[in-house]
Every structure is written in C-alpha cells, then in structure tokens.
Chains A and B, each alone.
Chain A
Amino acid sequence: MASKFKGVMQSPVTPLKEDFSLDLQTFEKVIDFHIRTGATAISWPHHKGESLNLTIDERKYFAEAAVRVANARVPVTIHVSALAVEDTHDLARHAESIGADGILAITPYIWSLTPDSIYNYFVRLCESIELPVLSYNSPSYLAGVKMSSELIERLVCKLPNFIGVKEASFNSETFIEISRVALKLNPDFAMLTGVEFLLPSVPLGGVGCYSAAGSICPNLCLQLYKSCISGEWEEARILQNKVTRIWHLFKDQYPSSLKGGMVIMGRPVGPTRSPLPTADAERCKYIQSELEDLGILESEPYGW
C-alpha cells in the first residue's frame, strides 16, 4: 500500500498565551490554516512545536485537538519522543487511543547508545502499538546518535509498522544509504527530509518533507515540491535557494523567529517558552525586512 506520508507535511508550532499557557483556540486555527493551504499531513509536536517544553498532559491535550480539528481531512501523526522512554510509550499508546494515523519517534535523547540499544528501543515501541511508526534521524542534535542504514534495514525487516524516516542529517551519503537499503525492502518506505530540502532529496528517492516554513510561506513550499516531483529542475533550484534562505532566517533562534515571522504574516501565536527566547521587536523588524526582500509578503496568505 502506498504511503500516505508524502508531500509537504506540516508540523505546527504550539501557540501560547501571554502567560505561557496553551492557547487552544489559536492552535485550532493553525491546524486549519495548514490543511487549507495544502498540507498533506499534520504532525505535532515536533521540536518546532516546543515538544520538550510541554508536559505530558499538555501534549495529550493538544494531540486530541489536532486529531479533532483535522477531522480526517489529512493524516495526523503524533511526535511521541520524550526525555523518559516510559513517557514516550505513554504518548504512543495515547496517540493510538485517540485515532491518530501514526507516530513519529526520534532516537532517545541524552544517552550515547549502541546500535543494538536503538534497535531494541524501536522494536519495543513499534510492537507496543499497531499504528505506523516513522523514525526521526537527527544526529547533529543528538551527539551523533543516528539511524544507520544497517539499523534501518534490521527494523524494516523486523517490523511491519516501521514505515518511514524523517531524515534530518541533510547529507547526501546518509540519505542515499538509507533510501537504497529501505526502498529495496519496502518500496513504499517513506523517505522524508526534515525541513524543505526537497531538491537534493527527491532525486535520491525522497517523497516529501516536514515543513519548517509552511506557517509563513505555504505557497512557496508547495511550488518547490511540485517542481521537484515533476522534474522541473531549473525552477526547483530557484525555489530551493529561496526556501533555504528562509530556513536560515528562521533557524536562528528556532522556533522563536518563526513565531515572530507569524506575527508579521498576521497569524500571531504568542511567545516561546523558556529557555528559548521570544523574538523581540528588533528581531521581528529584521525578519520583516527579509520577508519583504524575498517577496513573501505579496505572494503568501496574510491572516488566518
């Protein structure tokens, strides 16, 4: 069966009120905005959604809201990674109980693990639920702990619900090594790139991305995806360069800068929880000037 996890998938930010409590009403608007502007799936809460700054109860509360607001218009996956593995399992079981379409899980935080430990972690997680499981490879943020192609091969062979990877190394060798091995075993294995690095990944078997900039410029992200899958490489190069410039703009103080950018686009989502900063007026002014220079203010939707 073809994977339903492809295209430009959105991982919403987490709106907060001025007192830093969850803002449910705005979260519902964010989810709806993404679906109306072309998201092929919703996945929450990635690190962009401040996952590790939320309590487990808060994560469950908004996971339920995400499933409810999406209302089966697009698949919803829940990012279940937590500092404690037992919390991860709790979130995974909860995701299944509320009718989510899958879960996403990164390699465990903090610890320097052997490949066998990572393997055992994913086996236990995947066997605890029936939902599809997407793994998340981000070695630069996890002290080099990574999903190697050998590890992916073992997991694909062992687990029928291990169906894809969010690959965030942004490295040619890593991506093709995983895709070469995984797609041979399962042609529908979802090779997804973290952030919109579609131009270098689609020729290697990539089928989509988790978007970083979709809350700012969904039209641009969709254009990039369409140009890549249709092989319009000259156009794709121009669009990829533009999207990457936006990525660099928001990567600095991520996701605070992104939330600052959303204010400029008429979609305010409140502050960012400590220890992350909230974009100040000076930062927002800089973001505005960059977005103007890129023509984003004219070409992308304003407001909800």
Chain B
Amino acid sequence: MDGNRDMMLFAPELVHSLLTPFKEDNSIDYNTYDKIIEFHLSNGADSLALPMHIGEYVSLSNAEKRDLISFVLMKEKNIPVIAHVSDAGTKIAEDLSFFAIDSGASSIVVTTPYYWTPPASMLLEHFLTITKNIRSPIFIHNDPSNMGNAKISINILNGLLASRANSIYLLDSSLDWQFMIELVTLAEKNDSKIQLASGTDYYLSAAAIGANTYFSSLGLIAPKLVRRLYDYCKIDSLFEARKVQEAIAKLLYILKPYGVPGLKAASKYMGRDCGYCREPLNILSDEQQKTLEGQLKKSQLLKNEIIGWNR
C-alpha cells in the first residue's frame, strides 16, 4: 500500500506538529483547525504531522483521528502529511495506519504501544504487523520518557530493516547521544535505508550526529526560530545554529512545566487562540496564563515572530 505521493521524493525536512483546537463543548473546532493548517503552510513547514501527542492524540476517539487526518489531506496536497497511528493494541494501530495511507498520507508515525511493556520479540512483531503492507516510508518513534521507559533497540530496528524494502525513519525523542550515534552507524551499514529524525526541538546535536528531519512542537508559536534552526543545520552551520538553539531551549524551559496547555497558552499569547484542551488536560487558569505571558514577554524570545493568523 502506497501513499499518494512519490516515495522517491519524500523529504519531510522541517515537520510542524499540529495542535488540536477544541471548543468549550469539547468538540473539535474545525474552523480554527483550518486556520492552524494555513498558518503552518504559510510559515515554514515543509511537512505536517498529526495528531501527535501535542495534538492530544490519546484524548481523541478513533473516529476523530480519522476525521482529522482526512480533513488535512483534503486541504493540503502539496507537502508531505504524516499521520500518527500509535495505539495500545496492534490491530487497532494497524487499521488506522491502513486508513491513513489509503487516504493519501505520505507516511505514518508509530510509537511503542501505550501502557503495555511487551518483550522485545513482541515489540518487533507489533511494528512488523502495523507496517507490513505499507510501502511508504515509516517513522518509528523512540520516546522512552513518555512511554513508560519502553525503548526501541538497535535489534528491533535490525528486525524491521530485514523485513522492509522501503525506508525507515527513527524518530528520536530520547535525546540520547549514544543511541543516536548507534543509529547513524546502523544507517551506514544499510545504505541509509534507515535515517535519523529528531522528535524534539533540541535539534542541533541530532543534526550534528546526522539527523535530516526535525519534528517541531513550536511551529505555531515560534515558526521563525524553528525555521532558522533547521536551515542553519541543513547547511552544517552548526556554530551559527547554537544561539538559535539556545533561544529555543529557553523557550522550552519556560513552557515545559505547563505541558500541552502551555503550548496552547503561548499560541494564544501570539494571537492564535486554539481554544480549550480536552480532559484530563485543562487550559491554564487566568492567573497561570498571565504568569506565562509575563515570562514570555520578559524573555523577548518571541519578539520577531508574527502576531495573529496572517503571515
């Protein structure tokens, strides 16, 4: 099963992960989602990824995930769209991955299963089952700190490589230099059939090691900063990239205590209100919003970013 875009041209580069806006009645706000997509397309995204964890993926029903994927694919046909399909159950994730690729997604992202901690052999089987009929490139997400410390090992990747003809991206959110370097060494042995992608906004070290793809959670808040970081790294201007990476690190430091609601609050501060969060998350209280806005203003980190939805 292929996506509708030429695999040979698949070059995700700077990938903006989308927030999911909710109305007060808990429903998805598609008017605002439309604006979000337009904003990303006009402000530096080379690809879109949805609904990732910052898009409150686990708080969406299976039908809503499909609706969101369909909505984006109906709207955007020129750049890669990457669909997140992870689940606790292998068959559920497999069905969603089929749906996404069949609908025209360029690729899928799949993490280790939610909640369960299967043995390595079953973990490999999980990934093999989900991806066995998908000839598009796939992203395997290594995110131990958010997934009960479940890690993708080099052995699992070797097992996947042995069974797949097409390329694999290891989307790394572990930030672990040893693992990333091992991955790049594995890529060299496999004619780059596997590649390193960064799943966080700490992109500079990953790029130094050899990553060529950057999933950003800040595309709606600081699109100019993330674009500059990616562009510097793309041409190997790694020393020049340091100041930009430091600015992004400081922004992450401010936002981290607030989680996904903090991303929505920062987006609101930038004139791009994404509405409510869905339970169990809650938008920030007025007092928290005020505190966060004070921190962002004082930091001056966003002074060169545009305000509002228009470019």
Give the Cβ gap from A194 to chain B, nearest Cβ, in Å.
Answer: 11
Decide if B202 touches A176 in the complex (CB within 8 Å). yes
Decide if A241 touches B181 in the complex (CB within 8 Å). yes
A175 at the interface (CB under 8 A from B): yes
Give the Cβ gap from A215 to chain B, nearest Cβ, in Å.
Answer: 20
Decide if B177 touches A170 in the complex (CB within 8 Å). yes
Which of A149, A173, A203, A237 is the one whose CB lies under 8 Å from B210? A237
Give the Cβ gap from A170 to chain B, nearest Cβ, in Å.
Answer: 4
Among residues 119 to 148 in chain A, which have CB atoms less than 8 Å away from a CB atom of chain B?
Answer: none
* Measured CA separation A56–B172 after assembly (Å): 43
The segment from B19-27, B109-117, B128-136, B244-252 found at the interface with A is: B244-252
Decide if A204 touches B205 in the complex (CB within 8 Å). yes
Interface size class of A (residues with CB under 8 A): 20 to 34
A244 at the interface (CB under 8 A from B): yes
Which of A171, A203, A245 is the one whose CB lies under 8 Å from B204? A203
Given A170-B176, A240-B181, verify A203-B202 contact (CB < 8 Å): no
Among residues 187 to 233 in chain B, which have CB atoms less than 8 Å away from a CB atom of chain A?
Answer: 188, 200, 202, 204-206, 208-210
A205 at the interface (CB under 8 A from B): yes
CB-CB < 8 A to B188: which residues of A?
Answer: 241
- Chain B facing A: main interface SS: helix
Give the Cβ gap from B42 to chain A, nearest Cβ, in Å.
Answer: 29
* Measured CA separation A174–B252 after assembly (Å): 12
CB-CB < 8 A to A170: which residues of B?
Answer: 176-178
* Measured CA separation A173–B251 after assembly (Å): 12
Decide if B238 touches A231 in the complex (CB within 8 Å). yes
A107 at the interface (CB under 8 A from B): no
**Binary flags per residue of A226-258, CB closer than 8 Å to B gives 1, else 0:** 000001011011001100110110000000000
Which of A174, A175, A231, A244 is the one whose CB lies under 8 Å from B239? A231
Decide if A172 touches B175 in the complex (CB within 8 Å). yes
B296 at the interface (CB under 8 A from A): no
Decide if B175 touches A204 in the complex (CB within 8 Å). no
Which of B204, B210, B238 is the one whose CB lies under 8 Å from A172? B204
CB-CB < 8 A to B202: which residues of A?
Answer: 172-173, 176
CB-CB < 8 A to B246: which residues of A?
Answer: 176, 180
* Measured CA separation A203–B181 after assembly (Å): 16
* Measured CA separation A296–B177 after assembly (Å): 23
Give the Cβ gap from A228 to chain B, nearest Cβ, in Å.
Answer: 9
A99 at the interface (CB under 8 A from B): no
Given A203-B238, A231-B238, verify A244-B178 contact (CB < 8 Å): yes
* Measured CA separation A249–B50 after assembly (Å): 40
Highest count of chain B CB atoms <10 Å: which of A175, A176, A202: A176
Nearest opposing residue in chain A for B181, CB measure? A244
Decide if A180 touches B249 in the complex (CB within 8 Å). yes
Nearest opposing residue in chain A for B206, CB measure? A172
* Measured CA separation A149–B256 after assembly (Å): 14
Which of A180, A197, A202, A205 is the one whose CB lies under 8 Å from B177? A197
Given A199-B209, A237-B210, verify A204-B176 contact (CB < 8 Å): no
Decide if A176 touches B239 in the complex (CB within 8 Å). no
Give the Cβ gap from B247 to chain A, nearest Cβ, in Å.
Answer: 9
B102 at the interface (CB under 8 A from A): no
Nearest opposing residue in chain A for B249, CB measure? A176
Decide if B205 touches A200 in the complex (CB within 8 Å). yes
CB-CB < 8 A to A205: which residues of B?
Answer: 242
CB-CB < 8 A to A172: which residues of B?
Answer: 175, 177, 200, 202, 204-206
Decide if B205 touches A244 in the complex (CB within 8 Å). no
CB-CB < 8 A to B239: which residues of A?
Answer: 203, 231
Nearest opposing residue in chain A for B248, CB measure? A176
Decide if B205 touches A203 in the complex (CB within 8 Å). yes
Given A175-B205, A233-B208, verify A200-B242 contact (CB < 8 Å): no
Give the Cβ gap from B207 to chain A, nearest Cβ, in Å.
Answer: 8
Decide if B205 touches A201 in the complex (CB within 8 Å). yes
Highest count of chain B CB atoms <10 Å: which of A173, A174, A234, A236: A173
* Measured CA separation A20–B59 after assembly (Å): 61
A171-B176, A180-B246, A237-B209 known; 19 other A-B pairs, CB under 8 Å? A171-B175, A172-B175, A172-B177, A173-B249, A176-B245, A177-B253, A199-B181, A200-B209, A201-B177, A201-B205, A202-B208, A203-B205, A203-B245, A231-B238, A233-B236, A241-B185, A245-B185, A248-B178, A248-B182
Residues of B bordering A, CB below 8 Å? 175-178, 180-182, 184-185, 188, 200, 202, 204-206, 208-210, 236, 238-239, 241-242, 245-246, 249-250, 252-253
